[in-house]
Amino acid sequence: MKDWPLWEVFIRSRNGLDHKHVGSLHAADWEMAIENARDVYTRRNEGVSIWVVESKYIHASDPEEQDSMFESARDKVYRHPTFYDIPDEVGHM
């Protein structure tokens, strides 16, 4: 028997929020993937919208290169608001 293709499931828990990855499942096509996702991942009103993406279409960064990949952001403290000195008297900014 051939395994059905693997799908990644993303759910928006309520309007105003992003879709979030919740897990994966096998299904013959995208319509079945959405139905199955409803049955396993939203049995307790966890969602108002479902996205499914066939897993083979997802490309990922290489964990082995994690250090060099994200290194350039590490020494740029001036990108954060706390880097700048503003006297308390100015109030909230």
Q: Is the Cβ of residue 14 or residue 86 nearer to another protein in the bound state?
A: 14
H or E element at residue 49: strand 49-54
| Binding of residue 59 to another protein (CB under 8 A) | no
CA distance 21 to 10: 4
Q: What is the DSSP letter of 4?
A: P
In sequence order, the β-bridge partners of residue 10 are 21, 51
Q: What is the DSSP letter of 68?
A: H
Contacts of 81 (CB under 8 A, 6+ apart): none
Give least dist CB 52 to another protein, A: 13
Applying CB under 8 A, among 4, 19, 51, 54 the residue interacting with another protein is: 4
Give least dist CB 3 to another protein, A: 5
Binders in 9-38 for another protein, by CB under 8 A: 22-26, 28-29, 32
- Binding residues for another protein, rule: CB under 8 A, are 1-4, 6, 22-26, 28-29, 32, 39-40, 43-44, 60, 62-64
